[in-house]
Chains A and B, each alone.
Chain A
Amino acid sequence: MELKRTPLYDAHVRCGGRMVEFGGFEMPVQYKTGVIQEHMAVRNACGLFDVSHMGEVLVEGPDAVAYLNRLLTNDYTVMEDGQARYSPMCNEQGGTVDDLIVYKVRDGHYFVVVNASNREKDVAWMQTHASGDVTVTDVSDTWGQIALQGPLAEQILRKLTAAENIPAKNYHACWNRDVGGIPCLVSRTGYTGSDGFELYTAAADTEKLWNLLLENGQEEGLIPCGLGARDTLRLEASMPLYGHELSDTISPITAGLGFFVKMNKPDFIGKAALEAAGTPPQRRVGLKAVGRGILREHQDVYAGERKIGMTTSGTHCPYIGYPAAMAIVDREYGGIGTKVEVDVRGRRVEAEVVKMPFYKK
C-alpha cells in the first residue's frame, strides 16, 4: 500500500524529521533534537506536532445526538456549542472499535476525531450503524491538524490571535477563528498531559500555520516534535492508545475508562455485553520499574511464578525519569504498591503497581 502524506510532509523534511510509517502515513518519528529533548520541551516550554493524520468525520442531521448516544458509550445529551467530549466506541461484544473525541459545533452538527489507523474501519462502522435522519461524512482529507502543546502554548498562540479566540477551559473549542490570518478551529485539547491546543485548519493552509507558529514560538523555545515524543508524553500521562490499551477485544472497563461509559443510558452498542460481563477479571494498571531495565509492550507480568497479565505500552519516561509501563493484569493484583515482575526478554525486572497518571501537571 502506498503511504499517504500529510500537508506538512515537506515541512518535516525541511525541519530534519526522520520519517517512518504510522497508520498508513509517512510521519516524523523525531527531528534532529531527539525524543528526549522534544519530550522535555513540551513539559517545560512548548512543542509542535503534526497530527494531520487523524481522521475527521462529520455527523449531521436532526437525529445526530440520538445517534451518537447509541453509537458511543459517553453521553452527549447535554453539551454546549464548542464543547468536546471523549468516548470509547464499542462493538456488540463490549470490545472497543476506537476511542475518539466529539465536538459539538451546534445542534445537529458534530465533528468527530478518530485515530488515523482506524479511520476506514470507523467510518464504515459509523455508516453501518447510522439510523434516523443523520449523515456520516469522512472529511479527513480536507483538514490539517497541528497540536501546540506545553505550558507556554497559550502565550505563543496569543501572538497570533485575540484572547477571545482562545478557549479558557479544557475540552472546549472556538470555531472558525482567525489565527495569523488563517481560519482555524482552536481546541484546548491534547494528547500529552500538558496544557495546549489542537488547531484544525484547511489542508491547504496547514503548512502556513505550521511555519507561523514555529516563527512566533522561537523565543519560547518552541520546537517541532515527532511521534516518538507524542508516545512518551501520552504514556507518562497514562493516556490509552488504541491497539495497546484498547482493542476490539479489550473493553473500556478493562482499560479503566469506566468514567466514559454511561451505563445509565437507555442503550448503546455494547451495553448488554458490558452489563453481562460485570466487573472484568482484568484491569489496566501503571507499573514503575524498580529493578534495572526498560519495560516494553507485550511483556509478561508475573506475581511470583504466576503469570498475571501483559504490558500494553512501556518505555523510559523522560520527565518523571524512570521506566514505566501500562499493563492489563488480573484484578486482584491491581492494588497500588503491589510488587510484580516483568519478563524483559528473558530477564525478570522488578516493578511496582503505581497510581496513574505517572505525570500530572
Chain B
Amino acid sequence: MNFPRELKYTKTHEWVRFTDEETAYIGITDYAQDQLGDLVFVNLPAEGDALTAGESFADVESVKAVSDVNSPVTGTVEKVNEELADAPEKMNEAPYDAWFVLAGGITGTEDLMDAEAYEAFVAEEG
C-alpha cells in the first residue's frame, strides 16, 4: 500500500495534492481503489461547480457497487479530468496520478491528515 508523503488525506480516503495554497488536485487513495475493486465508471462534476469539504462531488462505480467520493476541501472546480471518464481503470492502476478535478479558491483544510496520520488511520481501519 502506497502513501506518498507529499499528499494530504481524508478519513474517507481521498488525497489532495496542493500546487499552491489555494489550488490542488483531488483523487482517491490506493487503499480506496483496493477496497473498491475494479473501477469501471466515474461520474465527474463540471467546471465551475462548488465543492464543500466532506460532501460528495463525484461517484465511482466498481463492478459490484457505487461509492460517493467526498471533496476533501471547500472551493471551486477549475478543471475536470475528462480522460478519467474514458479510462476509469487508471484509478486502480495509478491512483495518485488519476486526479478527478483541480480545485481552486480552497478553504477548509484543517481536517486533512498528513501521510503518516493517514497510514495509521488505514492500519486501524483495516
Contacts and interface: CB of A to CB of B under 8 A. Distances in A.
Interface stretch (B4-12, B35-43, B73-81): B35-43
Interface in A264-296: 292-294, 296
Contact of B63 (A293, A318, A347): A318
A30 B61 contact: no
Interface in A185-238: 228, 231-232
Interface residues of B, number: 13
A296 B66 contact: yes
Candidate in B38, B61, B62, B85 with the most chain A CB atoms within 10 angstroms: B38
Interface string A16-47: 00000000000001100011110100000000
Contacts, number: 41
Contacts of B41: 292-294, 316, 323
Interface residues of A, number: 20
A232 B66 contact: no
A36 B66 contact: no
Given A30-B37, A35-B38, A294-B41, A316 B61 contact: yes
A145 interface: no
Interface of A: 29-30, 34-37, 39, 228, 231-232, 292-294, 296, 315-316, 318, 323, 345, 347
12 contacts: A37-B38, A228-B63, A231-B64, A232-B63, A292-B41, A293-B41, A294-B40, A296-B66, A316-B41, A316-B63, A345-B59, A345-B66
Given A34-B92, A228-B37, 15 more contacts: A30-B37, A34-B37, A34-B38, A35-B38, A35-B62, A35-B64, A36-B63, A228-B64, A293-B41, A294-B66, A315-B64, A316-B40, A323-B40, A345-B59, A345-B66
